[in-house]
Amino acid sequence: MTTSTDLVEVRAGLYHDSVSLMRISQALGGRPGVTVAVVAMATELNLGLARDVHFEIPPAGPTDLLIAIRAESGAALQDAAEELDRQFAALARGGGRGGPAAESAPRTTRSAARAFDATVALVSVPGEYAFAEAMDAIDAGLSVMIFSDNVPVEQEVLLKDRAKERGVLVMGPDCGTAVVGGAGLGFANVLRPGPVGVVAASGTGAQHVTCLLDHAGVGVSHVLGVGGRDLSSAVGGRSTLVALAALDADPATELIVLVSKPPAPEVAEIVDRAVEGLSTPVVTALLGPGRDHLTSAAERAVSALGVPVPQWPCWTVPQPVGSELSGLYSGGTLCAEARIIAGTGTFTDFGDDEYTQGRAHPMIDPSMRLEALARASGVVLLDVVLGHGAEPDPSFRLAPAVRAARDRGTAVVVALVGTDSDPQGLLRQAEALVVAGASVFTSNAAAAGHAASLIGSGAL
Protein backbone atom coordinates (compact mmCIF):
# COMPACT_ATOMS: atom_id res chain seq x y z
CA MET A 1 0.00 0.00 0.00
CA THR A 2 1.16 3.54 -0.72
CA THR A 3 0.16 6.87 0.82
CA SER A 4 1.55 10.24 -0.21
CA THR A 5 4.61 9.72 1.98
CA ASP A 6 4.58 5.99 2.90
CA LEU A 7 5.36 2.97 0.74
CA VAL A 8 4.63 -0.47 2.21
CA GLU A 9 5.01 -3.70 0.21
CA VAL A 10 5.15 -7.39 1.06
CA ARG A 11 6.78 -9.49 -1.66
CA ALA A 12 5.77 -13.08 -1.08
CA GLY A 13 8.40 -15.83 -1.01
CA LEU A 14 11.31 -13.55 -1.93
CA TYR A 15 14.40 -14.23 0.24
CA HIS A 16 17.57 -12.15 0.52
CA ASP A 17 20.25 -12.44 3.20
CA SER A 18 20.23 -9.99 6.08
CA VAL A 19 23.53 -8.31 5.17
CA SER A 20 22.29 -7.41 1.67
CA LEU A 21 19.02 -6.12 3.06
CA MET A 22 20.77 -4.08 5.76
CA ARG A 23 22.82 -2.36 3.10
CA ILE A 24 19.77 -1.62 0.96
CA SER A 25 18.00 -0.16 4.02
CA GLN A 26 21.07 1.94 4.72
CA ALA A 27 21.24 3.21 1.13
CA LEU A 28 17.57 4.18 1.18
CA GLY A 29 17.80 5.76 4.62
CA GLY A 30 20.55 8.04 3.37
CA ARG A 31 18.46 9.46 0.51
CA PRO A 32 17.38 13.10 0.87
CA GLY A 33 13.97 13.37 2.48
CA VAL A 34 13.75 9.71 3.60
CA THR A 35 12.98 9.46 7.34
CA VAL A 36 12.51 5.69 7.76
CA ALA A 37 13.53 2.75 5.57
CA VAL A 38 12.94 -0.88 6.51
CA VAL A 39 13.87 -3.52 3.93
CA ALA A 40 13.97 -6.89 5.69
CA MET A 41 12.53 -10.35 5.87
CA ALA A 42 9.08 -10.22 7.47
CA THR A 43 10.03 -11.86 10.76
CA GLU A 44 8.07 -11.01 13.89
CA LEU A 45 10.94 -8.76 14.98
CA ASN A 46 11.02 -6.78 11.74
CA LEU A 47 7.23 -6.55 11.54
CA GLY A 48 7.24 -5.23 15.09
CA LEU A 49 9.90 -2.64 14.28
CA ALA A 50 7.84 -1.40 11.33
CA ARG A 51 4.67 -1.23 13.40
CA ASP A 52 6.50 0.60 16.17
CA VAL A 53 7.06 3.51 13.76
CA HIS A 54 3.37 3.38 12.72
CA PHE A 55 3.49 1.63 9.35
CA GLU A 56 0.32 -0.24 8.44
CA ILE A 57 1.57 -3.72 7.58
CA PRO A 58 -0.51 -6.23 5.59
CA PRO A 59 -0.37 -9.95 6.48
CA ALA A 60 3.16 -11.33 6.04
CA GLY A 61 5.35 -14.21 7.18
CA PRO A 62 9.08 -14.83 7.72
CA THR A 63 9.60 -16.09 4.15
CA ASP A 64 8.23 -12.83 2.71
CA LEU A 65 10.15 -9.62 2.04
CA LEU A 66 8.96 -6.48 3.83
CA ILE A 67 9.50 -3.02 2.36
CA ALA A 68 8.46 0.03 4.40
CA ILE A 69 9.65 3.50 3.44
CA ARG A 70 8.58 6.88 4.80
CA ALA A 71 9.61 10.17 3.24
CA GLU A 72 8.96 13.86 3.77
CA SER A 73 7.36 14.32 0.36
CA GLY A 74 5.93 12.40 -2.55
CA ALA A 75 8.95 13.33 -4.67
CA ALA A 76 11.37 11.99 -2.05
CA LEU A 77 9.32 8.79 -1.79
CA GLN A 78 9.42 8.32 -5.56
CA ASP A 79 13.18 8.85 -5.55
CA ALA A 80 13.54 6.21 -2.81
CA ALA A 81 11.35 3.75 -4.75
CA GLU A 82 13.53 4.19 -7.82
CA GLU A 83 16.67 3.66 -5.73
CA LEU A 84 15.08 0.51 -4.30
CA ASP A 85 14.60 -0.86 -7.81
CA ARG A 86 18.22 -0.05 -8.66
CA GLN A 87 19.47 -1.78 -5.50
CA PHE A 88 17.49 -4.95 -6.19
CA ALA A 89 18.58 -4.95 -9.85
CA ALA A 90 22.22 -4.76 -8.73
CA LEU A 91 21.58 -7.57 -6.24
CA ALA A 92 20.12 -9.73 -8.98
CA ARG A 93 23.25 -9.13 -11.09
CA GLY A 94 25.48 -10.19 -8.20
CA GLY A 95 26.02 -6.77 -6.67
CA GLY A 96 26.64 -5.10 -10.00
CA ARG A 97 29.84 -7.03 -10.67
CA GLY A 98 28.54 -9.08 -13.54
CA GLY A 99 27.44 -12.70 -13.41
CA PRO A 100 24.32 -14.53 -14.39
CA ALA A 101 21.04 -12.75 -14.78
CA ALA A 102 18.33 -13.25 -12.17
CA GLU A 103 16.42 -15.74 -14.30
CA SER A 104 19.48 -18.01 -14.52
CA ALA A 105 20.77 -17.49 -10.98
CA PRO A 106 22.63 -20.46 -9.47
CA ARG A 107 20.63 -22.77 -7.22
CA THR A 108 23.53 -24.30 -5.27
CA THR A 109 26.62 -22.93 -3.57
CA ARG A 110 28.87 -25.00 -5.84
CA SER A 111 27.28 -23.67 -9.04
CA ALA A 112 27.37 -20.12 -7.68
CA ALA A 113 31.08 -20.46 -6.95
CA ARG A 114 31.69 -21.54 -10.54
CA ALA A 115 29.46 -18.84 -12.03
CA PHE A 116 31.08 -15.98 -10.14
CA ASP A 117 34.62 -17.38 -9.94
CA ALA A 118 34.20 -16.95 -6.17
CA THR A 119 36.71 -17.63 -3.42
CA VAL A 120 34.65 -16.56 -0.38
CA ALA A 121 31.04 -17.28 0.60
CA LEU A 122 29.09 -15.16 3.09
CA VAL A 123 26.52 -17.11 5.14
CA SER A 124 23.86 -14.92 6.72
CA VAL A 125 20.90 -17.10 7.64
CA PRO A 126 19.26 -17.97 10.99
CA GLY A 127 21.74 -19.89 13.15
CA GLU A 128 19.93 -23.22 12.91
CA TYR A 129 20.46 -23.26 9.13
CA ALA A 130 24.02 -21.91 9.01
CA PHE A 131 25.86 -25.23 9.42
CA ALA A 132 24.47 -26.81 6.25
CA GLU A 133 25.08 -23.69 4.14
CA ALA A 134 28.62 -23.25 5.45
CA MET A 135 29.49 -26.91 4.90
CA ASP A 136 28.28 -26.66 1.30
CA ALA A 137 30.55 -23.66 0.78
CA ILE A 138 33.56 -25.44 2.29
CA ASP A 139 32.96 -28.53 0.17
CA ALA A 140 32.81 -26.23 -2.87
CA GLY A 141 36.36 -25.11 -2.03
CA LEU A 142 35.36 -21.71 -0.64
CA SER A 143 36.49 -19.91 2.44
CA VAL A 144 33.37 -18.87 4.32
CA MET A 145 32.36 -15.98 6.54
CA ILE A 146 29.52 -17.03 8.86
CA PHE A 147 27.72 -13.85 9.89
CA SER A 148 25.05 -15.93 11.62
CA ASP A 149 25.10 -16.27 15.39
CA ASN A 150 23.53 -18.84 17.73
CA VAL A 151 25.42 -21.68 15.99
CA PRO A 152 26.30 -24.55 18.38
CA VAL A 153 30.00 -24.74 19.23
CA GLU A 154 30.11 -28.42 18.21
CA GLN A 155 29.09 -27.41 14.69
CA GLU A 156 31.74 -24.68 14.66
CA VAL A 157 34.46 -27.23 15.46
CA LEU A 158 33.22 -29.58 12.71
CA LEU A 159 33.20 -26.78 10.16
CA LYS A 160 36.69 -25.63 11.03
CA ASP A 161 38.11 -29.14 10.96
CA ARG A 162 36.54 -29.71 7.54
CA ALA A 163 37.91 -26.37 6.33
CA LYS A 164 41.41 -27.37 7.38
CA GLU A 165 41.08 -30.54 5.32
CA ARG A 166 39.98 -28.49 2.30
CA GLY A 167 42.64 -25.81 2.76
CA VAL A 168 40.19 -22.95 3.30
CA LEU A 169 39.33 -20.59 6.16
CA VAL A 170 36.16 -20.37 8.26
CA MET A 171 35.50 -16.86 9.57
CA GLY A 172 32.92 -17.23 12.32
CA PRO A 173 30.30 -18.17 13.34
CA ASP A 174 29.16 -14.80 14.70
CA CYS A 175 31.80 -13.11 12.56
CA GLY A 176 30.54 -9.57 12.23
CA THR A 177 33.45 -8.00 10.35
CA ALA A 178 35.90 -8.92 7.61
CA VAL A 179 37.78 -7.08 4.88
CA VAL A 180 39.12 -9.25 2.08
CA GLY A 181 41.17 -7.56 -0.61
CA GLY A 182 39.58 -4.21 0.21
CA ALA A 183 35.99 -5.54 0.15
CA GLY A 184 34.17 -5.08 3.45
CA LEU A 185 31.89 -7.91 4.62
CA GLY A 186 29.30 -7.57 7.38
CA PHE A 187 29.85 -4.53 9.60
CA ALA A 188 32.81 -2.82 7.95
CA ASN A 189 34.29 0.64 8.17
CA VAL A 190 35.64 2.56 5.19
CA LEU A 191 39.39 1.99 5.55
CA ARG A 192 42.36 3.07 3.52
CA PRO A 193 44.46 0.27 1.96
CA GLY A 194 47.79 -0.44 3.59
CA PRO A 195 50.28 -2.92 5.03
CA VAL A 196 48.55 -4.16 8.19
CA GLY A 197 46.73 -7.48 8.25
CA VAL A 198 44.35 -8.15 11.14
CA VAL A 199 43.25 -11.46 12.65
CA ALA A 200 40.35 -10.90 15.00
CA ALA A 201 38.27 -13.06 17.30
CA SER A 202 36.17 -9.93 17.66
CA GLY A 203 34.22 -7.85 15.17
CA THR A 204 34.09 -4.57 17.05
CA GLY A 205 37.62 -5.12 18.35
CA ALA A 206 38.83 -5.35 14.75
CA GLN A 207 36.80 -2.29 13.83
CA HIS A 208 38.25 -0.31 16.71
CA VAL A 209 41.88 -1.17 15.97
CA THR A 210 41.55 -0.55 12.22
CA CYS A 211 39.77 2.77 12.81
CA LEU A 212 42.57 3.90 15.12
CA LEU A 213 45.08 2.88 12.45
CA ASP A 214 43.08 4.90 9.92
CA HIS A 215 43.18 7.96 12.21
CA ALA A 216 46.98 7.55 12.20
CA GLY A 217 47.05 7.37 8.39
CA VAL A 218 47.77 3.61 8.32
CA GLY A 219 45.75 1.25 6.12
CA VAL A 220 44.99 -2.47 6.07
CA SER A 221 45.53 -5.33 3.64
CA HIS A 222 42.95 -7.76 5.05
CA VAL A 223 40.85 -8.18 8.18
CA LEU A 224 40.15 -11.84 8.86
CA GLY A 225 37.52 -12.37 11.53
CA VAL A 226 37.53 -15.82 13.11
CA GLY A 227 34.49 -15.68 15.41
CA GLY A 228 34.31 -14.70 19.05
CA ARG A 229 34.69 -18.29 20.33
CA ASP A 230 37.73 -19.23 18.27
CA LEU A 231 40.19 -18.73 21.15
CA SER A 232 37.98 -20.58 23.63
CA SER A 233 38.99 -23.96 25.03
CA ALA A 234 36.31 -25.67 22.97
CA VAL A 235 37.50 -24.32 19.60
CA GLY A 236 41.20 -24.08 20.36
CA GLY A 237 42.17 -21.27 17.97
CA ARG A 238 41.55 -23.38 14.87
CA SER A 239 40.80 -20.46 12.51
CA THR A 240 43.22 -18.08 14.20
CA LEU A 241 46.16 -20.35 13.36
CA VAL A 242 45.02 -20.67 9.72
CA ALA A 243 44.46 -16.90 9.37
CA LEU A 244 47.87 -16.07 10.85
CA ALA A 245 49.56 -18.40 8.39
CA ALA A 246 47.60 -16.90 5.47
CA LEU A 247 48.62 -13.34 6.31
CA ASP A 248 52.20 -14.43 6.93
CA ALA A 249 52.25 -15.71 3.34
CA ASP A 250 50.64 -12.54 1.92
CA PRO A 251 53.23 -10.24 0.28
CA ALA A 252 51.01 -7.17 0.83
CA THR A 253 51.00 -7.68 4.61
CA GLU A 254 54.02 -6.22 6.43
CA LEU A 255 52.62 -6.38 9.96
CA ILE A 256 49.94 -8.52 11.60
CA VAL A 257 47.71 -7.39 14.47
CA LEU A 258 45.96 -10.14 16.46
CA VAL A 259 42.85 -9.04 18.37
CA SER A 260 40.70 -11.02 20.80
CA LYS A 261 38.58 -10.73 23.88
CA PRO A 262 40.18 -12.63 26.81
CA PRO A 263 41.29 -16.04 25.42
CA ALA A 264 41.50 -19.36 27.22
CA PRO A 265 45.00 -19.42 28.78
CA GLU A 266 46.02 -22.72 27.17
CA VAL A 267 44.86 -21.46 23.74
CA ALA A 268 46.73 -18.18 24.20
CA GLU A 269 49.90 -20.22 24.75
CA ILE A 270 49.31 -22.16 21.51
CA VAL A 271 48.80 -18.93 19.59
CA ASP A 272 51.85 -17.30 21.17
CA ARG A 273 54.00 -20.25 20.02
CA ALA A 274 52.56 -19.99 16.50
CA VAL A 275 53.32 -16.26 16.41
CA GLU A 276 56.94 -16.93 17.30
CA GLY A 277 57.27 -19.09 14.19
CA LEU A 278 56.02 -16.47 11.73
CA SER A 279 58.30 -14.38 9.51
CA THR A 280 55.92 -11.38 9.63
CA PRO A 281 56.03 -9.34 12.86
CA VAL A 282 52.90 -9.58 15.01
CA VAL A 283 51.36 -7.15 17.49
CA THR A 284 49.02 -8.98 19.86
CA ALA A 285 45.99 -7.53 21.62
CA LEU A 286 44.67 -10.52 23.56
CA LEU A 287 42.68 -8.71 26.22
CA GLY A 288 43.09 -9.63 29.84
CA PRO A 289 44.68 -8.43 33.08
CA GLY A 290 48.27 -7.36 32.44
CA ARG A 291 47.86 -7.38 28.64
CA ASP A 292 47.71 -4.45 26.22
CA HIS A 293 44.38 -2.79 25.55
CA LEU A 294 43.30 -2.13 21.97
CA THR A 295 44.49 1.46 21.82
CA SER A 296 47.92 0.46 23.10
CA ALA A 297 48.11 -2.30 20.49
CA ALA A 298 47.20 0.16 17.74
CA GLU A 299 49.89 2.54 18.98
CA ARG A 300 52.49 -0.25 18.94
CA ALA A 301 51.46 -1.16 15.39
CA VAL A 302 51.74 2.45 14.24
CA SER A 303 55.16 2.81 15.86
CA ALA A 304 56.38 -0.48 14.36
CA LEU A 305 55.71 0.98 10.92
CA GLY A 306 57.67 4.15 11.73
CA VAL A 307 54.56 6.36 11.81
CA PRO A 308 54.11 8.96 14.58
CA VAL A 309 51.38 8.06 17.08
CA PRO A 310 48.71 10.78 16.92
CA GLN A 311 46.54 12.27 19.64
CA TRP A 312 43.33 10.25 19.38
CA PRO A 313 40.44 12.69 18.78
CA CYS A 314 38.12 13.39 21.70
CA TRP A 315 35.48 15.93 22.61
CA THR A 316 34.75 16.45 26.31
CA VAL A 317 32.13 18.44 28.19
CA PRO A 318 31.70 18.96 31.96
CA GLN A 319 30.08 15.90 33.51
CA PRO A 320 28.44 15.33 36.92
CA VAL A 321 29.91 12.99 39.51
CA GLY A 322 28.29 9.57 39.85
CA SER A 323 28.30 6.88 42.49
CA GLU A 324 28.02 3.95 40.06
CA LEU A 325 29.15 3.08 36.54
CA SER A 326 27.05 1.27 33.94
CA GLY A 327 28.59 0.03 30.70
CA LEU A 328 26.00 -0.41 27.93
CA TYR A 329 27.85 -1.90 24.96
CA SER A 330 27.05 -3.27 21.52
CA GLY A 331 30.54 -4.75 21.06
CA GLY A 332 31.62 -7.67 23.23
CA THR A 333 35.35 -7.03 23.06
CA LEU A 334 34.91 -3.31 23.67
CA CYS A 335 32.73 -4.20 26.66
CA ALA A 336 35.36 -6.61 28.03
CA GLU A 337 38.13 -4.05 27.55
CA ALA A 338 36.15 -1.29 29.27
CA ARG A 339 35.34 -3.56 32.21
CA ILE A 340 39.03 -4.38 32.68
CA ILE A 341 40.15 -0.74 32.44
CA ALA A 342 37.38 0.75 34.58
CA GLY A 343 37.77 -1.88 37.29
CA THR A 344 34.34 -1.10 38.63
CA GLY A 345 30.71 -1.01 37.56
CA THR A 346 28.13 -3.19 35.86
CA PHE A 347 28.68 -3.98 32.17
CA THR A 348 26.26 -5.43 29.63
CA ASP A 349 27.12 -6.63 26.11
CA PHE A 350 23.87 -6.19 24.18
CA GLY A 351 25.49 -7.89 21.18
CA ASP A 352 25.78 -11.19 23.04
CA ASP A 353 23.76 -14.16 21.73
CA GLU A 354 21.57 -13.89 24.82
CA TYR A 355 20.22 -10.58 23.53
CA THR A 356 20.28 -11.14 19.76
CA GLN A 357 18.26 -14.35 19.55
CA GLY A 358 15.16 -13.32 17.61
CA ARG A 359 16.35 -9.70 17.49
CA ALA A 360 18.62 -7.61 15.31
CA HIS A 361 22.11 -6.75 16.57
CA PRO A 362 22.19 -3.53 18.64
CA MET A 363 24.36 -1.87 16.01
CA ILE A 364 21.27 -2.14 13.79
CA ASP A 365 18.46 -1.93 16.33
CA PRO A 366 19.51 -0.05 19.52
CA SER A 367 16.08 -0.28 21.22
CA MET A 368 17.11 -2.48 24.16
CA ARG A 369 20.16 -0.37 24.89
CA LEU A 370 18.19 2.88 24.68
CA GLU A 371 15.72 1.43 27.18
CA ALA A 372 18.61 0.62 29.53
CA LEU A 373 20.01 4.14 29.12
CA ALA A 374 16.61 5.58 30.04
CA ARG A 375 16.78 3.67 33.36
CA ALA A 376 20.46 4.29 34.15
CA SER A 377 21.87 6.69 36.70
CA GLY A 378 25.33 7.72 37.86
CA VAL A 379 27.81 7.40 35.00
CA VAL A 380 26.96 5.62 31.75
CA LEU A 381 29.62 4.40 29.31
CA LEU A 382 28.63 3.13 25.86
CA ASP A 383 30.04 2.52 22.40
CA VAL A 384 28.79 3.80 19.05
CA VAL A 385 30.16 1.87 16.07
CA LEU A 386 29.90 3.37 12.59
CA GLY A 387 30.42 1.83 9.15
CA HIS A 388 28.51 -0.12 6.54
CA GLY A 389 25.77 -2.30 7.97
CA ALA A 390 25.37 -0.25 11.16
CA GLU A 391 22.62 2.29 11.87
CA PRO A 392 22.64 4.97 9.16
CA ASP A 393 22.43 7.76 11.77
CA PRO A 394 23.04 6.52 15.36
CA SER A 395 22.86 9.99 16.90
CA PHE A 396 19.31 10.50 15.59
CA ARG A 397 17.93 8.26 18.35
CA LEU A 398 20.84 8.34 20.79
CA ALA A 399 21.27 12.12 21.15
CA PRO A 400 17.76 12.69 22.61
CA ALA A 401 18.36 9.79 25.04
CA VAL A 402 21.69 11.33 26.08
CA ARG A 403 20.01 14.69 26.59
CA ALA A 404 17.32 13.09 28.76
CA ALA A 405 19.99 11.29 30.81
CA ARG A 406 21.91 14.52 31.40
CA ASP A 407 18.70 16.32 32.38
CA ARG A 408 18.26 13.84 35.25
CA GLY A 409 21.88 14.23 36.38
CA THR A 410 23.47 11.22 34.68
CA ALA A 411 26.94 11.50 33.12
CA VAL A 412 27.34 9.99 29.64
CA VAL A 413 30.63 8.97 28.03
CA VAL A 414 30.78 7.56 24.49
CA ALA A 415 33.45 5.51 22.72
CA LEU A 416 32.94 6.41 19.04
CA VAL A 417 34.39 3.84 16.62
CA GLY A 418 34.62 4.98 13.02
CA THR A 419 36.61 6.77 10.32
CA ASP A 420 36.23 10.10 8.57
CA SER A 421 35.05 8.25 5.44
CA ASP A 422 32.26 6.23 7.07
CA PRO A 423 28.79 6.97 5.66
CA GLN A 424 27.41 8.17 9.03
CA GLY A 425 30.07 10.89 9.27
CA LEU A 426 32.39 10.59 12.28
CA LEU A 427 32.51 14.32 13.02
CA ARG A 428 28.77 14.75 12.49
CA GLN A 429 28.02 11.96 14.98
CA ALA A 430 30.52 13.33 17.51
CA GLU A 431 29.13 16.84 17.28
CA ALA A 432 25.52 15.69 17.73
CA LEU A 433 26.41 13.64 20.81
CA VAL A 434 28.52 16.41 22.36
CA VAL A 435 25.74 18.96 21.86
CA ALA A 436 23.41 16.50 23.64
CA GLY A 437 25.80 16.41 26.61
CA ALA A 438 28.08 13.40 26.08
CA SER A 439 31.85 13.31 26.27
CA VAL A 440 33.11 11.47 23.18
CA PHE A 441 36.37 9.55 22.66
CA THR A 442 37.68 7.69 19.61
CA SER A 443 39.69 5.49 22.01
CA ASN A 444 37.57 3.04 23.99
CA ALA A 445 40.35 2.76 26.57
CA ALA A 446 40.36 6.53 27.05
CA ALA A 447 36.55 6.57 27.29
CA ALA A 448 36.59 3.85 29.96
CA GLY A 449 39.30 5.60 31.96
CA HIS A 450 37.43 8.90 31.77
CA ALA A 451 34.15 7.30 32.87
CA ALA A 452 35.83 5.60 35.83
CA SER A 453 37.38 8.92 36.87
CA LEU A 454 33.90 10.40 37.24
CA ILE A 455 32.95 8.00 40.02
CA GLY A 456 32.91 10.12 43.15
CA SER A 457 36.02 12.13 42.20
CA GLY A 458 34.60 15.43 40.98
CA ALA A 459 33.42 16.63 37.59
CA LEU A 460 35.82 16.63 34.63
Per the domain annotation, does 123 fall within a domain? yes
pLDDT at 105 over 80: no
Q: Are residues 19 and 137 in the same domain?
A: no
Q: Range with the lowest mean pLDDT among 145-149, 188-192, 324-328, 419-423?
A: 145-149
Confidence label for 229 from pLDDT (cuts 50, 70 and 90): very high
Answer yes or no: is 65 within a domain: yes
In a domain, 133, yes or no: yes
Mean pLDDT for all residues in the chain: 90
Asked which of 252, 282, 304 is the last residue of a domain, the reply is: 304
pLDDT band at 460 (very low <50, low <70, confident <90, very high): very low
Same domain membership, residue 127 and residue 83: no
Q: What integer is the mean pLDDT of 223-236?
A: 96
- Of 92, 126, 159, the one marking the end of a domain is 92
Task: Give the CATH number, domain containing residue 373.
Answer: 3.40.50.261
Range of the domain at 18: 6-92
What residues does 284 pair with on adjacent strands? 258
Number of domains in the chain: 3
Between 115 and 39, the higher pLDDT residue: 39
Domain match, 355 and 402 both: yes
Q: Decide if 1 is inside a domain.
A: no
pTM comes to 0.81
Interval 9-23 mean pLDDT:
80
Mean pLDDT in residue range 66-83: 93
Q: Which of 271, 286, 304 is at the close of a domain?
A: 304
Query: Does 213 score more than 60 pLDDT?
Result: yes
Q: Are strands 379-385 and 346-349 parallel, antiparallel or unpaired?
A: unpaired
In a domain, 103, yes or no: no
- What's the pLDDT tens digit per position in 134-192? 999 999 999 999 988 889 999 999 999 999 999 999 999 989 899 998 899 989 999 99
Q: Are residues 276 and 341 in the same domain?
A: no
Residue type (1 letter), 439: S
In 3-state terms, what secondary structure has residue 448? helix
The yes-or-no verdict on residue 30 having pLDDT over 80 is no
User: Both 347 and 395 in a single domain?
Assistant: yes
Do 170 and 266 lie in a common domain?
yes
- pLDDT at residue 92 above 80? no
Same domain, 300 and 318: no
Give the separation between CA 223 and CA 124, rounded to whole angstroms. Answer: 18
Q: What SS3 class is residue 41?
A: strand
298 and 322 fall within a common domain: no
- pLDDT of 394 strictly over 80: yes
Residue 13: how many other CB atoms lie within 10 Å = 8
Least confident of 57-66, 132-141, 317-326: 57-66
Given a contact cutoff of 8 angstroms between Cβ atoms, the answer to whether 418 and 426 are in contact is yes
User: Which CATH number does the domain housing residue 13 bear?
Assistant: 3.30.70
Are the CB atoms for 219 and 213 separated by under 8 Å?
A: yes
Give Cα separations from 141 to 118, 121, 167, 299 (angstroms): 9, 10, 8, 37
**How sure is the predictor about 358, in pLDDT bands with cuts at 50, 70 and 90?**
low
**Span 78-93, mean pLDDT?**
88
Give the SS3 label for residue 221.
strand
Residue 385 host element (H or E): strand 379-385
pLDDT score at 76: 92
341, 389: one domain: yes
Whether residue 365 sits in one domain with residue 299: no
| pLDDT value for 96 | 42
Q: Is residue 100 part of a domain?
A: no
Stretch 217-242: mean pLDDT, rounded? 96
Does any domain span residue 101?
no
Residue 67: φ, ψ to 5°: -125, 125
Residue 117 and residue 50 share a domain? no
Instruction: Specify if 97 maps to a domain.
Output: no
Q: Which are the contacts of 309, defined by CB distance < 8 A and separation ≥ 6?
A: 216, 299, 302, 303
Residues 218, 322: one domain?
Answer: no
